[in-house]
Amino acid sequence: MSAAKRVLICEDDADARLLIRSILNTIHFEIAGEAETGIQALNLFRETRPDIVLLDIQMPQGDGLTVLRFLREIDRQVRVILLTADDTSHSVNTALKLGANDYVIKSSLTTPRFLQALQVDGVSQPEESTGGEKSKSDEAADEEAKSKTSGDPQRRMTTMERREEKNSSRR
Protein backbone atom coordinates (compact mmCIF):
# COMPACT_ATOMS: atom_id res chain seq x y z
CA MET A 1 0.00 0.00 0.00
CA SER A 2 1.40 3.39 -0.97
CA ALA A 3 1.94 6.08 1.65
CA ALA A 4 -0.81 8.66 2.10
CA LYS A 5 -0.33 11.81 0.06
CA ARG A 6 0.69 14.77 2.17
CA VAL A 7 -1.07 18.07 1.52
CA LEU A 8 -0.16 21.61 2.53
CA ILE A 9 -3.27 23.81 2.83
CA CYS A 10 -2.63 27.50 2.09
CA GLU A 11 -5.89 29.36 2.71
CA ASP A 12 -6.71 32.33 4.92
CA ASP A 13 -10.43 31.61 5.47
CA ALA A 14 -10.96 29.33 8.47
CA ASP A 15 -14.23 27.88 7.14
CA ALA A 16 -12.59 26.82 3.87
CA ARG A 17 -9.68 25.26 5.79
CA LEU A 18 -12.08 23.27 7.97
CA LEU A 19 -13.92 21.96 4.93
CA ILE A 20 -10.71 21.03 3.10
CA ARG A 21 -9.32 19.35 6.23
CA SER A 22 -12.48 17.27 6.58
CA ILE A 23 -12.44 16.20 2.94
CA LEU A 24 -8.75 15.25 3.11
CA ASN A 25 -9.38 13.22 6.27
CA THR A 26 -12.25 11.43 4.56
CA ILE A 27 -10.08 10.35 1.62
CA HIS A 28 -7.18 9.45 3.94
CA PHE A 29 -4.78 12.12 2.76
CA GLU A 30 -2.37 13.44 5.35
CA ILE A 31 -2.30 17.15 6.23
CA ALA A 32 1.32 18.33 6.13
CA GLY A 33 0.44 21.78 7.44
CA GLU A 34 -1.90 24.75 7.25
CA ALA A 35 -0.84 28.26 6.28
CA GLU A 36 -2.94 31.41 6.55
CA THR A 37 -0.48 33.76 4.83
CA GLY A 38 1.86 33.62 1.86
CA ILE A 39 4.96 33.80 4.02
CA GLN A 40 3.70 30.97 6.25
CA ALA A 41 2.99 28.95 3.10
CA LEU A 42 6.58 29.22 1.88
CA ASN A 43 8.03 28.49 5.31
CA LEU A 44 5.80 25.45 5.80
CA PHE A 45 6.56 24.20 2.31
CA ARG A 46 10.29 24.25 3.03
CA GLU A 47 9.74 22.48 6.37
CA THR A 48 7.27 19.82 5.31
CA ARG A 49 7.92 19.17 1.59
CA PRO A 50 4.36 17.98 0.84
CA ASP A 51 3.20 16.06 -2.24
CA ILE A 52 0.42 18.54 -2.99
CA VAL A 53 -0.02 22.25 -2.27
CA LEU A 54 -3.51 23.74 -2.18
CA LEU A 55 -2.93 27.42 -2.77
CA ASP A 56 -5.47 30.20 -2.37
CA ILE A 57 -4.95 33.00 -4.90
CA GLN A 58 -5.85 35.75 -2.48
CA MET A 59 -4.04 35.58 0.85
CA PRO A 60 -2.50 38.22 3.09
CA GLN A 61 1.29 38.58 3.32
CA GLY A 62 2.04 37.17 -0.11
CA ASP A 63 -0.74 36.29 -2.53
CA GLY A 64 -0.99 32.90 -4.21
CA LEU A 65 0.75 33.98 -7.41
CA THR A 66 3.74 35.34 -5.53
CA VAL A 67 3.96 32.15 -3.48
CA LEU A 68 3.66 30.05 -6.64
CA ARG A 69 6.64 31.79 -8.26
CA PHE A 70 8.82 31.01 -5.24
CA LEU A 71 7.50 27.44 -4.96
CA ARG A 72 8.42 26.72 -8.56
CA GLU A 73 11.95 27.99 -7.95
CA ILE A 74 12.26 25.58 -5.02
CA ASP A 75 10.45 22.58 -6.51
CA ARG A 76 9.23 22.06 -10.07
CA GLN A 77 7.56 18.69 -9.37
CA VAL A 78 5.20 19.28 -6.46
CA ARG A 79 1.56 19.31 -7.52
CA VAL A 80 0.08 22.77 -7.01
CA ILE A 81 -3.68 23.21 -7.09
CA LEU A 82 -4.93 26.75 -7.07
CA LEU A 83 -8.02 27.66 -5.02
CA THR A 84 -9.96 30.48 -6.60
CA ALA A 85 -13.31 32.22 -6.17
CA ASP A 86 -14.02 31.87 -9.91
CA ASP A 87 -12.35 30.79 -13.13
CA THR A 88 -12.81 34.05 -15.01
CA SER A 89 -9.94 35.68 -13.22
CA HIS A 90 -6.89 36.73 -15.21
CA SER A 91 -4.93 35.42 -12.22
CA VAL A 92 -5.94 31.84 -13.05
CA ASN A 93 -4.36 32.09 -16.52
CA THR A 94 -1.26 33.64 -15.03
CA ALA A 95 -1.02 30.90 -12.40
CA LEU A 96 -1.28 28.15 -15.02
CA LYS A 97 1.50 29.84 -16.98
CA LEU A 98 3.59 30.00 -13.83
CA GLY A 99 3.27 26.26 -13.34
CA ALA A 100 0.13 25.57 -11.32
CA ASN A 101 -1.07 22.07 -12.25
CA ASP A 102 -4.79 22.70 -11.86
CA TYR A 103 -7.32 24.96 -10.21
CA VAL A 104 -10.53 24.45 -8.24
CA ILE A 105 -13.28 26.98 -7.73
CA LYS A 106 -13.87 27.20 -4.00
CA SER A 107 -17.60 26.62 -4.28
CA SER A 108 -16.74 23.25 -5.91
CA LEU A 109 -14.74 21.93 -2.96
CA THR A 110 -17.57 19.59 -1.99
CA THR A 111 -17.97 18.19 -5.53
CA PRO A 112 -16.05 15.46 -7.43
CA ARG A 113 -14.14 18.22 -9.23
CA PHE A 114 -11.95 18.68 -6.14
CA LEU A 115 -11.18 14.95 -5.99
CA GLN A 116 -10.26 15.03 -9.68
CA ALA A 117 -7.80 17.81 -9.00
CA LEU A 118 -6.33 15.80 -6.12
CA GLN A 119 -6.04 12.81 -8.49
CA VAL A 120 -7.87 10.54 -6.10
CA ASP A 121 -7.94 6.94 -7.41
CA GLY A 122 -11.22 6.07 -9.05
CA VAL A 123 -12.12 9.65 -9.96
CA SER A 124 -11.58 10.32 -13.65
CA GLN A 125 -9.55 13.30 -14.74
CA PRO A 126 -11.31 16.21 -16.39
CA GLU A 127 -10.94 17.12 -20.05
CA GLU A 128 -8.12 19.58 -20.64
CA SER A 129 -10.52 22.28 -21.69
CA THR A 130 -12.45 22.11 -18.43
CA GLY A 131 -9.76 21.10 -16.00
CA GLY A 132 -7.53 24.10 -16.40
CA GLU A 133 -4.42 22.16 -17.44
CA LYS A 134 -2.74 25.10 -19.11
CA SER A 135 -5.27 25.27 -21.89
CA LYS A 136 -6.37 28.84 -21.23
CA SER A 137 -3.35 30.56 -22.64
CA ASP A 138 -3.31 34.19 -23.44
CA GLU A 139 -0.48 36.48 -24.37
CA ALA A 140 -1.06 38.94 -21.57
CA ALA A 141 -0.79 36.18 -18.98
CA ASP A 142 2.41 34.98 -20.65
CA GLU A 143 3.93 38.40 -20.49
CA GLU A 144 2.88 38.93 -16.88
CA ALA A 145 4.28 35.55 -15.88
CA LYS A 146 7.59 36.25 -17.61
CA SER A 147 8.02 39.73 -16.22
CA LYS A 148 7.26 38.68 -12.67
CA THR A 149 9.61 35.73 -12.60
CA SER A 150 12.67 37.68 -13.69
CA GLY A 151 15.18 39.09 -11.21
CA ASP A 152 16.88 37.92 -8.06
CA PRO A 153 14.61 35.67 -5.89
CA GLN A 154 16.09 36.80 -2.58
CA ARG A 155 15.58 40.43 -3.49
CA ARG A 156 12.00 39.78 -4.55
CA MET A 157 11.29 37.87 -1.31
CA THR A 158 12.60 40.78 0.74
CA THR A 159 10.44 43.15 -1.27
CA MET A 160 7.41 40.96 -0.67
CA GLU A 161 8.06 40.89 3.08
CA ARG A 162 8.52 44.66 3.13
CA ARG A 163 5.29 45.17 1.26
CA GLU A 164 3.49 42.89 3.70
CA GLU A 165 4.92 44.72 6.70
CA LYS A 166 3.58 47.92 5.20
CA ASN A 167 0.16 46.34 4.64
CA SER A 168 0.13 44.91 8.18
CA SER A 169 0.83 48.30 9.65
CA ARG A 170 -2.11 49.69 7.67
CA ARG A 171 -4.46 46.99 9.00
Partner 1 sequence: MNNEKCIDPAALERIRGIGGDDLLTKMIALFIQNVEKRLQEALEGKAAGDSEMIGRAAHSIRSSSGNVGAMRLQRVAYEIERLAMEGNINRAWERFAELEKVFAAVKARLTEEGEQPAQ
Contact set with partner 1 (CB under 8 A): 12-16, 18-19, 22-23, 26, 58, 85-86, 105-111
Task: Provide, rounded to whole angstroms, the least separation between the CB of residue 105 and partner 1.
Answer: 7
Burial degree of 155 (CB within 10 A; 0-12, 13-18, 19+): exposed
| CA triple 17-22-24, angle to 5 deg | 95
Task: Provide, rounded to whole angstroms, the least separation between the CB of residue 114 and partner 1.
Answer: 10
Task: Provide, rounded to whole angstroms, the least separation between the CB of residue 102 and partner 1.
Answer: 18
Q: What strands lie across the sheet with 52-56, from one edge to the other?
A: 30-35, 6-10, 52-56, 79-84, 102-105
Q: Which is nearer to partner 1, 74 or 85 (CB)?
A: 85
Task: Provide, rounded to whole angstroms, the least separation between the CB of residue 50 and partner 1.
Answer: 21
Q: Which is nearer to partner 1, 107 or 130 (CB)?
A: 107
Q: Which is nearer to partner 1, 11 or 102 (CB)?
A: 11
Helices (H) and strands (E) in the chain, counts: 8, 5
